[in-house]
Amino acid sequence: MSSNPTNKSSPEFTSYYLQRATQEFSEDLDKVRNAEDFKADSIPFLVHALQQGAGLFSPEDQKRVVAEPKGKEGDE
């Protein structure tokens, strides 16, 4: 792990990470979005919370993931 506590994610990796996270958590995100106490001003907070996960990956891992052929992600 990186010893840099303010690890910044590349825009490409952040975009990829958010796409994958929203796919994986789609049911949970729908439950949150449909909750009675969910308001429009909750969206930036939710997006920020999801973006925080991208910072957990080292710059090397981010580069590797972004550089992988895009066809691999659908092969399950």
Q: What is the pLDDT at residue 8?
A: 77
Contact 43, 29 (CB under 8 A): no
What total of structural domains would you count in the chain?
1
Is there a domain that residue 50 lies in?
yes
| Per-residue pLDDT in tens (0 to 9) along the chain, 76 residues | 444 445 678 899 999 999 999 999 999 999 999 999 999 999 999 999 999 999 999 999 999 999 987 655 554 4
Tell me the two tokens of residue 15: 């975009």
Is there a domain that residue 6 lies in?
no
Is there a domain that residue 5 lies in?
no
Q: What is the pLDDT at residue 12?
A: 93
Q: State which residues form the domain around 38.
A: 11-67
Q: What is the pLDDT at residue 73?
A: 53
As to burial, measured by CB atoms within 10 angstroms (0-12 exposed, 13-18 middle, 19+ buried), residue 20 is middle
d(CA 30, CA 58): 30
